[in-house]
Copies of this chain bind each other. A is one copy, B any other.
Amino acid sequence: MIVRQVRFTLRPRPRGFHLVTREVTERLADLAGIRTGLCLLFLQHSSASLALNENADPTVREDFEAHTRRLIPDGAPHYRHTLEGPDDLPAHLKAALFGSSLTLPIAEGRLALGTWQGIYLGEHREHGGPRSVVATLIGEER
């Protein structure tokens, strides 16, 4: 049993949901030599999120953005945390609801995602900038 930790940055993206599976797996190219185990992807931010969802049709990501804007609208009159603009509080609440991390199984030396599962970065700020990830992998060596 071994544990490995890798830190990396996801490049800046515009507000919305983005498929980052390839960018993540490239940074974890050899999964630290682990054959069977767990991988925690942890975003060190409070206004962006990680989620798993459909990896094929980009309209899923567009609809996620459109519908979450309706559920948690920018600049609602009852928000008190407004210092950084109308997208500030909604970004925090979306980050908490979708969550800042993913725990994924490693099987046969690969992330054991389903056929249609991809990793989404939810960028909930208009200008979020690069996003730092701490990846922690635990398991049996190959």
Provide the main secondary structure of the chain A interface.
mixed
Within 8 A of B (CB), among A66-84: 66-68, 70-72, 76, 78-81, 83
Give the copy number: 3
A92 interfacial by beta-carbon distance below 8 Å: yes
> CB distance A76 to B80 under 8 Å?
no
Take A71-B71, A78-B67, A98-B96 as given contacts and tell me if A89 and B60 are in contact as well, using a CB distance cutoff of 8 Å. yes
> CB distance B103 to A40 under 8 Å?
yes
Question: Which of B66, B92, B101 makes the CB contact (< 8 A) with A53?
Answer: B92
> CB distance B60 to A53 under 8 Å?
no
A10 interfacial by beta-carbon distance below 8 Å: no
